[in-house]
Amino acid sequence: SQQGEEDPQALSIQEGENATMNCSYKTSINNLQWYRQNSGRGLVHLILIRSNEREKHSGRLRVTLDTSKKSSSLLITASRAADTASYFCATDPYGQNFVFGPGTRLSVLP
């Protein structure tokens, strides 16, 4: 598996439901970031969580980090059709350049 790998690869939910995506990584990190990419567009930063943090919130987004399990989760609450996008986690193995996972494709159906 890759350094950062999201799970599931694809997720389809109804509007109003919560969406949870997970990211697993292999090495020690200083930071983990989540990005969103709408179809045909560039990536947009959502949240950065540092290795000494366990949870961060931003609006309807909640990110957790468990360094002992080398995993993170992104929760989107009360999802909207506009949340339809691909979501990527990016980790900085040993504090070096960020490495992106292959992403989770989220579809929110109206």
Partner 1 sequence: NAGVTQTPKFQVLKTGQSMTLQCAQDMNHEYMSWYRQDPGMGLRLIHYSVGAGITDQGEVPNGYNVSRSTTEDFPLRLLSAAPSQTSVYFCASSYSFGTDTQYFGPGTRLTVL
By the 8 A CB rule, do 36 and 82 touch?
A: no
CB of 64 to partner 1, least distance (A): 19
Residue 100 binds to partner 1 (criterion: CB under 8 A) = yes
> Residue 16 CB, nearest distance to partner 1 (Å)?
29
Calculate the CA dihedral of residues 9, 98, 84, 39 and round it to 10 degrees.
-100
Residue 2 interacts with partner 1 (CB under 8 A): yes or no:
yes
Interface residue with partner 1 among 13, 48, 61, 75 (CB under 8 A) is: 48
Q: Which residues contact 57 (CB under 8 A, 6 or more apart)?
A: 63
Nearer to partner 1, 44 or 109 (CB): 44
